[in-house]
Structure 1
Amino acid sequence: MTILLASLTRVAEKRGNVPHELERLQSMLTKGLAATRSLWSDVQTGYHWVYRAAHILSNDETLKGAQVRQRYEELLTEMAEVSASSKALTTMLTTFRKVTTSYWPGLFHCYDVPDLPRTNNDLEHYFGSARHYERRATGRKSASPGLIIRGPVRVITLVASCHQQFSCDDLRLTDIARWRTLRNELDYRQTICRDRSRFRKSPEAYVAALEEMLLTERLPT
């Protein structure tokens, strides 16, 4: 805003007469800057921290994930130890660290895995493609229950097939234990979805069946 205000001032000095609209805009900017003058110091300090974080995560030096993580941890330590000049800045730094913690488990894989998207926006392209092909195959505008249950397989298959053509040898089962674990997870998802559907259709019958099952298990044999 200060740059815009300076530009308007220069225009006024050159032209001598300034249109009423520009005078009104200049007056609004002057009042706005005066009213928020006390906040600009915190904004500049906060921008400095965010800029440093963005520079580390952009990884222009193409460091490994462990190295990027170490540099980022050092930055968070600095933010935790800094003596904030105001309550607003303290709140900003606390919120930044809290949000970073929520993303932490998957924040650094992209530096070690080739072609892995770094941001949620990049990942959204893959989910958008999955929804597009799902609509074309089923004619449904909303996601089908099958996609929700088997999304960990279908979405990953879609993403992989967009980048590579697989042969029969590629699809041959090699890790039986991992395959069985995945099957159990998908069966568990399907069981939950099926039970939820049965409960919605007839809550009384569903609860009665649970009570009968509970009583039967507790009765002595």
Structure 2
Amino acid sequence: MWPGLRRAYQWVERTANILRNASGLDSAGVRRRLAAMLAALVRWTRRRYRGVLRQALAHFLLETRRYWKGLFHCYDAPDLPRTDNPLEHLFGTCRYHERRSSGRVRGSAGLVVRGAVRLPAITSAQLLPEIDGPHLAPEDINDWRQLRTQLEQRRVPRVMGRRFRADPNGYLQDIEDGLRRYLPA
């Protein structure tokens, strides 16, 4: 199988080279080149291989077709990155530090609830390690208060769910008692 695997890997490398777009083509040009190369791959696979290698190349073609619609936008927009790898790295770093600081295997739900604050804080700490107290003060106190209100609104449902799971009967009794205060006697 080794010669077939080596040849299949060459097809993957050719795909990567076309998508790297060293020649600076627009999206239509890259689309045409990739479509021609994939058509040649289909013809080559049908003639030469059966079994596992053919299944692997068929899967490669299936995934390429699945991403085809959104694959070429980055070639027409100069500031749009070709991949989101740096963004994925940033999120992975945040999850890593969250797990390390909490001692948990999984990231905490607090990262989801307070992500609007934690993600910029982690990012700025990585990019600008010399940030100190005066730089952390909010510029506009009203914006800060609004952000705190939004974060609290996201936190409340989680707290209520935790209270319900801890003591369902007590939770429901508190709701009934609260309703009785508003109902006429």
**Normalising by structure 2, what TM-score?**
0.50
d(CA) in 2 for partners of 1:113, 1:205: 58
1:59 aligned to 14, 18, 21, which one?
21
* Aligned residue-pair number: 151
* AA at the equivalent of 2:64: T
Task: State the identity as a percent.
Answer: 34
Offset at residue 147 of structure 1 (A)? 1.9
Offset at residue 58 of structure 1 (A)? 1.7
Contact 1:68 1:108 in 2 (8 A): yes
Q: 1:61 to 1:145 in 2, by over 3 A?
A: same
Offset at residue 42 of structure 1 (A)? 1.8
Q: Which moved more, 1:81-90 or 1:147-156?
A: 147-156
Q: Does 1:114 align with 2:76?
A: no
* Structure 1 match to 2:34: 72
Q: 1:141 to 1:95 in 2, by over 3 A?
A: same
Unaligned residue ranges in structure 2 (runs of 5+): 129-138, 144-149, 174-185
Q: Does 1:147 align with 2:147?
A: no
Higher relative contact order (CA 8 A, sep 6+): 2
Alignment of 1:66-105 (within 5 A): 66-82=28-44, 83-84=46-47, 85-101=49-65, 103-104=67-68
Offset at residue 135 of structure 1 (A)? 7.8
Deviation >6 Å, runs of 4+: 186-192, 203-206
Offset at residue 68 of structure 1 (A)? 2.7
d(CA) in 1 for partners of 2:35, 2:168: 50
* AA at the equivalent of 1:76: L
**Normalising by structure 1, what TM-score?**
0.44
Contact 2:99 2:108 in 1 (8 A): no
Offset at residue 70 of structure 1 (A)? 4.0
Cα RMSD, aligned residues only: 4.8
Higher Rg: 1
